[in-house]
Structure formats: C-alpha cells, structure tokens
Amino acid sequence: MISHSSFTVEPWSLRETGLDLDVIAQSESVFALSNGHVGWRGNLDEGEPHGLPGSYLNGVHELHPMPYAEAGYGFPESGQTVINVTDGKIIRLLVDDEPFDVRYGRLRSHERVLDLRSGLLQRTCEWTSPAGSTVRVRSTRLVSLTQRAIAAISYEVEALDTDIRLVVQSELVANEQLPQADGDPRVSAVLESPLQPEEHLAEGTRLRLVHCTALSGLRVAAAADHLVHGPPSTEASSESNDDTSRFTITSELAPGETLRLVKLVSYGWSGVRSLPAVRDQVEAALAGARVSGWQGLADEQREYLDAFWARADVEIDGDAQIQQAVRFALFHVLQAGARAEQRAIPSKGLTGSGYDGHSFWDTESFVLPLLTYTSPDSVAEVLRWRQATLPAARDRARTLGLRGATFPWRTIDGSECSGYWPAGTAAFHINADIADAVVRYVSLTGDEDFERETGVELLVETARLWRSTGHHDPDGHFHIDGVTGPDEYSAISDDNAYTNLMAQANLRAAVDAVERHVEQGAALGVDDEETAAWRDAAAAMTVPYDSALGVHEQSAGFTRHQVWDFAGTPPEHYPLMLHYPYFDLYRKQVIKQADLVLAMFFRGDVFDDEQKARNFAYYEQLTVRDSSLSACVQAVMAAEVGHLRLAYDYLGEAALMDLNDLENNTRDGLHIASLAGTWTALVAGFGGMRQRDGLLDFAPRLPEKLKRLAFTLQVLGRRLHVEITDSQTAYTLVEGEPLDIRHFGQPLTVSGKSPQTRPTPAVITRPAPEQPHGRVPRRR
C-alpha cells in the first residue's frame, strides 16, 4: 500500500491522497479501527463501493457443519465463522437527488488519514454530482479505546458553489451482502444472512436493531443516536424494519453553509442474557457516550494513546518506511487487544474475516510478547480467556485419550474447529505456547494474584498433556511422537525440536508454580508423584541432532529426507500449499516457516553460539516463508548470528507484510502476528533483548542503514528506555525502582534518570547463508 502512488510515508500517520478502487479492499484493512471488542473496517461512509463490508464483535460467530469425505474419530463436527454484525458506519448522502457515489460524477479530491496519535480516521473529499453540484465532505471516525461498546462518526457536508438540497441517511444495517469466497483456504466461509431479527426501533434521533444467530445462540444488539447541526431548513425523520433502521435528515445549503451530523453507535452481545438485558446494555452505553459527546470521546482517545506511546514507542533513524511501519504495527496490535477483556485476539484482529476470525497459537507466541512489554493488562485478559476455555480443552484431551487439556489449533469460542487434522489434532505445541505466555507475563509483571488464580491452573493442565502424550524409551529418553510443529509442511513428526523444548519448559514451569502455590496445586490434584514425573520427563527430553551434518534436526529423521526441488518450482507456485499436495510437502526438506530457528529464539539457552550459526545456515536454505510468521523470526536469529544485512531485509518483509500486501491477502484483514513481529525484529533482533534467569539481557547491534534505534519497555513496574547507536547503547530508567539488567552478559544496574552507557562490541562475521532458489528476501 505505501508503495502505491496514493500513499505517503509519514512518521505518525497513514495517508492516502487519492482513491484507487483496485486496492479498496486492502485500504479497508489498513484503515480499520478497533478496540478489541468492536471492529470497523475502513469502508467508505456511504457503504459502497466496497471490497469487504466489515463490522465485527469479538467472539460473535455462527456455526456451520464441517463436511468430510471420510469422517474420522475425534474430527471436529462444527466449524465457527466470524460474522459481519450490524453495520453502524453507513451514512448515505444525496445531493439534489443524486447519490454521492465516487464511481459517478467527478471526484475532484479524496484523502484519508489514519492518525496514529489521536486514533482517528479522517476523510476529506470534494465531489461534483452528474448534475454539476459540488460538495465538500469531511468525516472523522473512531472506535473508542475508553468506552468499550462505542464507535462514533462526525460527518460534515459543505456546499461549495451553488445552492443544494441534501438528504443524509444514517443507518444501522444487518445482513449486508458479502462477496463470495475465492477458494483460498485463508479466506473465511461466507454465511448468508446469519442474523435473525428480534427487534427494531426508530424513535426520534435514536435507532436500534436486535438480532440473534440461529446455531451459536448469540444475541447481538446495536443502537445509535444522532446530533444534528444545520441551517433552519433542516428536518429529520426515522423509520425501521427487520434489518434496517434509518435516521434521515433533509436540508438546504447555500454556498459556504455546512450540515454536521454526529453519530454515536453502541454494540453489545451475549450468549446467555435476555433480549431486554442486551437492549438495555446498548442503551446504557449510548447514554454514557452522549454525556461525553464527540469531543469528549476524541479527547479520551488522545489521552489513552498518549499514555500508550509514552510506554511503547519505537524510534528509528535511517529508514522512514520502517519508522512508519512499526508505529502502524504497534497501533494495530494495541487495537487488537486493548479491550478484548477475556476474549481471544484473532489472527486478523477485528480488521477482516480472514481465517474465519479464528485465534491460533500466533496470539501467545507473537502478539502477547509485545503486549507484555507495552500493555500487560491486555495479556492477562487473553490468558484468562484461555482459562475460561479449559472445560472444552479438557474434553478435547479426553476425546484424544490424553490427560490435562488440549487447547484448540484454531477457535473462536474455545472448541476446536479445524478440519485439517494434522494441525487440529496434532499441533500440540499450542499448549506450551500458552504456558510460555503465562511464565513471561508473571515474570515481567510480578502479578502473583494472576499466577495463583489463573497461571497455576493453565500450567498444570498443559503439563499433564505432555506427560500423557510422551513416553520414556528403554534408555530413559523422553519422546513426544506424531506431532506437528510450527512448520506445517512437516506434519506428524517424531520429536519435533520446538515442541519438545517448549514442552520441557512447560513441565519445569508447572513444577515451580505448584511449589510456590501449594494450596492451588493440591486443589488441582497435583501430588509429589506427579511433579516428580514432570521433572523426569523434562530432564530426559529428546532433542534430535544430526552429528554427521553438525546440526540439530527439526524433527527426528528430518535431515535424511529428500530436499525439495526449489530450482524447479516457479515463483507463481508459492505458497506451495495452494499448488502441491501435502503428501509431497510432508516427505521433503522444505519449510513453510521458522521452526527449529524459532526454537533457537525461544529456547536460546539450549544452543551455543556455533550451534545457532550452523543451524541457522542449514535451515535458511530450506525455508520458503509461505507464512507471514516467518520473516520476523528469521530477522531475530539472523541478527543474533551476525547476518545484520539479511536481518534488515527480513525486518522489511515483516514490517511491510500488509502495507505492501506482500502475500496478496491483506484484503481479508491484517496479519496481526506479523505486525507484532515488526517490533520483535527490532527489539529482540537489533536490540538483542532476551529474558534469561529472570533478567533482561541485551546484545544490541544495528545494520549499516539504521543509525539509531530507541524503544521503551514496561518491566516489573519500571519503565526502561533503551537507545542504540552504531557504537554504544544507553539504558535509562524513566520510572520506578533500580533495575538489574545485562549488556552482552555483563551485569548492569540502571537507576535514577541518568543513562548508563555501554559500548557495542564488533559483530563476528560469517559467510552469508543461502536461501531457496527464488525466495531471497527483497533487499532494502
């Protein structure tokens, strides 16, 4: 998108200076607004033209049957798909009976700006109708980060050169017609008219619609109120039916006169509350928004974001594109989780319906690390949602003949809904990813209440899965066989290194947690025999190694597989999963996304420096990056082993995944994990940040083109600012008690307001690794 001629590169905003309908779906995703509870795609105010209409409530979905040519035991029977709920964005405009539609008349100018500091999406355009009347339209949109149920629009129409008669129709619309899916498995299922009407109202300036879903049993309500400022000729009326509630304004404007409409919209839903209760919920939220008014909502939004940027901003000198991209990423990741409040963070956030609105392991492994250091309260809420889904996870484990909990590969409500059984049944590593997120959150916040009330139960039930999934061989080694690791091109493998190492950490963390919280452990039925079994399994965990090649194996026997014919694979056949059978992929050395390399990042304590360098070089030549999750991880490890230029190129790929639509599916929503990976590539890659032995350890190194990198972290109630140049790094404690950290392994205590400065050692140079034919990252 930012490579498109209509987009500019600016440090604090995303600006589109013209309207190109060929990329309208992509622009709807990048201009989406959300707070983690309510999400509005960046559709035009008039509703049409559009690429994908989208108004979402986190958790609202409909069920659909999962058809199988051949059913199997344990296959999920029901799928879940996020639905487009009641659209409150629509404001239609007629100028002298001519509908304002950018496809007709003359669009003289059109500009949209997403301001990352104010959280407002602003639009200004001038349009001449086919009959020759010209108007200027200004609209500003927000989804409130402080009032969870509220979204709002300020809409102004100005007559420019002649007297005009206006009609403005502000609507709530349910069951909008959606474009058909194109067969890409990453696109959502299209459910026709998923909302069944229960109540509609139009009374004065107020509108309301209440619907329910047929199969998931969810009740959805939307309400709107309006404030109108216009000349004396302005009149208004309202009407409603099952799927539409409309407030209509008519007015006559002389040149220079303006009609202004403020539209306040509230949303609510529930799977258990009655119609009157949900109706009252949205009316109460609307009453609160009316007290704040438009300016109050905008001021609250700016105050909230000022606080966020003070604790989370990343500053870059030397690459304006990456500077814009990382702030864009931070803003959208914040939006995805800010007010999720015991709901999941979907892989697309609330920016589109891609992947059916499901949440994956991406959340815990890519999104929550960023939020733990910048917005930790939202992390606790996501993990409490995982705890709330434990009944379904325990049921799934019992179905599979296992103990503990088996968390779903993909889900909305906590139950497994993946029909791809090598992942839906065998990608157990999500258990360890959740445990890892728990440990990280507790260690970086010191939140003992959370650990006692939520963390212990999650750690215990995930640990139980590993002990029942794995086994000791006659020599005492512990194996976990028949699993799918992060690399989905290598399914149903024995001793996947990532899975085993993360399971090992999970088992050890569970032991530590129940020893700290004996009462909670006892309530869960944990005894000394069980913790001893966990210790034994962790101590004996198998990590496969090919001594002939001198590299760790991604899984047992992986390095003896035939290498994929990369030279014979045409560029248009990527991603491979859309052009080749999984059978062929599973039995070859070809990697969809970082797997063993991800293990080296998350469990770097297990590998020495030379092992990391050899492993990275070996797996680099096999990894095709058919997943948006890969580039950021490769950036981190490339930086650690000394390939700074390559790390910089991978940073660019992660950062521009959506802004340049690198995977040609930004139309379906943003890649929230890749956006979070932009921060990871900078902070963990070039900042060299790791958490080891309860301390933050930094090993910063900058690529040649970056002159300065600065970022701020929240750690144990402190605020630490890190500023890196090519020769030195300055650590400043902005807030809180003294903090012990390490710089290239050397202890350092940061206190007061004075920066502690340390030199940056020279990078060890190594031969540049190779990538698969045709898969070299784009040079920056």
| Strand segments (E) across 670-762 | 690-692, 695-698, 708-715, 718-725, 728-735, 739-743, 746-750, 756-759
269: left (phi over 0), alpha (psi -120 to 50) or beta: beta
Query: What pairs with residue 729 in β-bridges?
Result: 724, 758
| Nearest of 90, 19, 80 to residue 53 by alpha carbon | 90
Residues contacting 295, CB < 8 A, separation 6+: none
H or E segment to which residue 206 belongs:
strand 206-213
Look up residue 253 and give its two tokens: 């404007």
Q: Which of 340, 343, 188, 191 is nearest to 669 (CA)?
A: 188
Residue with tokens 């910089």: 648
Render 553-621 in DSSP notation, one character per residue. Answer: -SSTTGGGSEEP-STTS-GGG-SGGGTS-HHHHHTEE-BSS-SHHHHHHHTGGGS-HHHHHHHHHHHHT
Q: For residues 131 and 153, is the Cβ–Cβ distance under 8 A?
A: no
**Contact call for residues 242 and 200 (beta carbons, < 8 A):** yes
For residues 235 and 251, the answer to whether their CB atoms sit within 8 Å is yes
CB 119 within 8 A of CB 302: yes
Helix segments in 389-471, DSSP class H: 390-399, 421-424, 429-445, 448-450, 456-469
Match 């299922």 to its residue by tokens.
Answer: 189
SS3 727: coil
* Contact call for residues 632 and 667 (beta carbons, < 8 A): no
**Alpha-carbon distance values, 147 to 301, 307, 375, 416, 500 (Å):** 9, 16, 17, 32, 43
Q: Where are the beta strands (DSSP E) in 277-366?
A: 314-317
Q: Output the six-digit token pair for 770.
A: 């190779």
C-beta of residue 289 within 8 angstroms of C-beta of residue 153: no
CA atoms within 13 A on the CB side of 666: 25
Is residue 651 within 8 A of residue 322, CB to CB? The reply is yes
The rounded distance, in Å, linking the Cα atoms of 251 and 509 is 66
Query: What does the block give as tokens for 384?
Result: 């409490």
The active-site residue, picked from 171, 300, 488, 653, is 488
Distance CA 732, CA 738 (A): 10
Cα(10)–Cα(479) distance, rounded to whole angstroms?
51
Given a contact cutoff of 8 angstroms between Cβ atoms, the answer to whether 313 and 328 are in contact is no
38's enclosing H/E stretch is strand 38-40
Q: How many CB atoms lie within 10 A of CB 574?
A: 17
Beta bridge partners of 493: 483
The yes-or-no answer on residue 488 being catalytic is yes
Q: Which residues contact 158 (CB under 8 A, 6 or more apart)?
A: 135, 136, 137, 138, 253, 256, 257, 258
Q: Cβ distance 629 to 677 under 8 Å?
A: yes
Q: Is the peptide bond before 575 cis (omega within 30 degrees of 0)?
A: yes
**Integer CA distances (angstroms), 724 to 148, 577, 634, 685, in order:** 37, 40, 21, 12
Strands 588-589 and 562-563: parallel
Catalytic residues: 488
